Amino acid sequence: MSKGSLNPMRRRKRQRIIVVLTAMGLLGIAVGLILVALQENIVFFIAPSEIAERQIESGQRFRLGGLVEAGSLEQQPNDPTIHFRITDLEASVPVQYRGLLPDLFREGEGVVAEGRLTAEGIFEADSILAKHDENYMPKEVIESLKKSGRWQPQEERPKDEDS
Amino acid sequence: MVEFFNMDGYGVFIWPSYVIVFVVLIGLGIQSRKWLANLEKAVQDLQPEGDAESEGPQIGEP
Amino acid sequence: MAAAFAVGIYMALITSPADFKQGESVRIMYIHVPSAWMALLTYTIIAVASGVSIIWRHPLADLAAKSAAPVGLAFTGLALITGSLWGKPMWGDWWVWDARLTSVLVLFFLYLGYIAIWQAIEDQNQASRAAAILALVGFVNVPIIKFSVEWWSTLHQPASVIRLDGPTIDGSMLVPLLVMVLAFKAYFITVLLWRMKAELVARKLQVLRLKKAQGA
């Protein structure tokens, strides 16, 4: 009759709810702490401005990620090596690479390069991955916007796109 | 037509994607249906009340 | 369901436009994203059903969780494969070990482990308990998958549809995507009901066999 005398079935159910919820909560906290501790290892790439902060030395292998700096892409005739800069809008690093490029690789677009820094501070990449962003737009819409001069690329992306 | 299947060169990636997705989904659907049908048939075979022990020896512990 | 798929595929492959960066390869997105969403939704359903099963010992919750697992496994596998087929031309690689891809691979193994527990433990009550605990423990992975692209630098792009500031995907591509999502959901419900019914019939069959063995 009193509130203390829930029938045993209901009490057990209540206990089980509490056990499940606390267990889930503790597990969540534990996993959260592990992930925070592992933060540095979970990131897929390092931005140019983080290189100094992370004390990366020349010769050390890592992934450098950011935007392909607009207007920085260069290739000498008869030389398969391409040169460009990766920027995170705070710092930028010169990169050289020789090999196939993914289809999304463009000036002003996201890129992740894997390789090492030389003593001169040039990043020698041996693989290049392109990073897609979250924007989906029909080709025709962009083309007609460009034609009418109303196309405004996001961020600081300058106008000249490659063909 | 050729142009459609080529998909600007991405056909080699797009078509396998669609084929795999639908083969797997249809396959899982068929497997689920068959499993259900087999079980229902097995129940039906056991159900008729006049069940003499004409069926095969029933293995399994009591 | 078939109608939703027919309309969805027609829109995805024929009427929807090419993307301004990805070109035609964007068409893979219309099956990749529904697969990935359904992989997460199915796991969430399994986790909720497992909680209900542990707390209230409701047999139907067990059945639902057990029946959903193979469907979720299929969705996860398809999300990984279609993503890989998109990643090769766009990113330049079939696979990378970034936080998003790795956590989805973990989801795939969670599904496998969940199914394996049901297979391996003969006593169905014990199996249900063990499987439910795995499902609940593994649930921490679901928010990790969802937010991996925001918490860490990943190669995988951030969310385009479910985000606070609204979708960053044009309507002409969002509509076909949502139609496909609807088709995938209808498929899931249909197959789930078939499998749950089969589980019920299987239990009935077991009882019948037991009765018969005892009666003989």
Q: Dump pLDDT digits (tens) for C132-151.
A: 999 999 999 999 999 999 99
Whether the Cβ atoms of residue C27 and residue C12 lie closer than 8 Å to each other? yes
User: Rounded to the nearest 5°, which phi and psi values hold at B32?
Assistant: -65, -45
The mean-pLDDT minimum among A6-10, A48-52, C75-79, C105-109 falls in: A6-10
* pLDDT attached to residue B48: 67
Cα A74 from Cα C194, distance rounded (Å): 59
* pLDDT attached to residue B56: 44
Q: What range defines the domain where residue C172 resides?
A: 2-215
Query: Does the pLDDT of residue C55 top 90, yes or no?
Result: yes
Top-confidence residue, A2 or B19: B19
Query: Does the pLDDT of residue B53 top 80, yes or no?
Result: no
User: A44 touching C, CB under 8 A?
Assistant: yes
Q: Confidence band (pLDDT; 50, 70, 90) for B47? A: confident
- pLDDT by residue (tens digit) across A44-96? 999 999 998 888 888 899 999 999 999 999 888 888 899 999 999 999 999 99
Strands A92-97 and A123-131, by their bridges, are parallel
Q: What average pLDDT does this structure show over B16-44?
A: 96
Query: Under an 8 A CB cutoff, do A128 and C92 touch?
Result: yes
The mean-pLDDT minimum among A12-21, C7-16, C112-121, C190-199 falls in: A12-21
Whether the Cβ atoms of residue C107 and residue C39 lie closer than 8 Å to each other? yes
Contact list in C for residue A47 (CB cut-off 8 A) is: 153
Angle value at C-alpha C80, between C77 and C85, nearest 5 degrees: 125
Query: Does the pLDDT of residue A153 top 70, yes or no?
Result: no
Q: How far is C-alpha C123 from the geometric centre of its chain's CA atoms?
A: 27
Q: What average pLDDT does this structure show over A111-118?
A: 94
Average pLDDT, chain C: 95
Whether the Cβ atoms of residue C166 and residue A135 lie closer than 8 Å to each other? no
* pLDDT attached to residue A163: 35
CATH class (in words) of the domain with range A48-135: mainly beta
- Could you write out the three-class secondary structure of chain C? CHHHHHHHHHHHHHHCCCECCCEHHHHHHHHHHHHHHHHHHHHHHHHHHHHHHHHHCCHHHHHHHHHHHHHHHHHHHHHHHHHHHHHHHHCCCCCCCCHHHHHHHHHHHHHHHHHHHHHHCCCHHHHHHHHHHHHHHHCCHHHHHHHHHHHCCCCCCCCCCCCCCCCCECHHHHHHHHHHHHHHHHHHHHHHHHHHHHHHHHHHHHHHHHHHHHHC
Give C83 to chain B, closest Cα distance, Å: 9
The mean-pLDDT minimum among A17-21, B44-48, C170-174 falls in: B44-48
User: C84 touching A, CB under 8 A?
Assistant: no
* pLDDT attached to residue B49: 56
| Domains in chain C, number | 1
From the list A39, A102, A136, which residue is nearest C168 (CB)? A136
From the list C31, C191, C197, which residue is nearest B29 (CB)? C191
Q: What average pLDDT does this structure show over B33-47?
A: 93
- pLDDT by residue (tens digit) across C89-115? 999 999 999 999 999 999 999 999 999
From the list C32, C85, C195, which residue is nearest B32 (CB)? C195
Contact list in A for residue C144 (CB cut-off 8 A) is: 31, 35
Closest by CA to C208, choosing from B37, B60, B33, is: B60
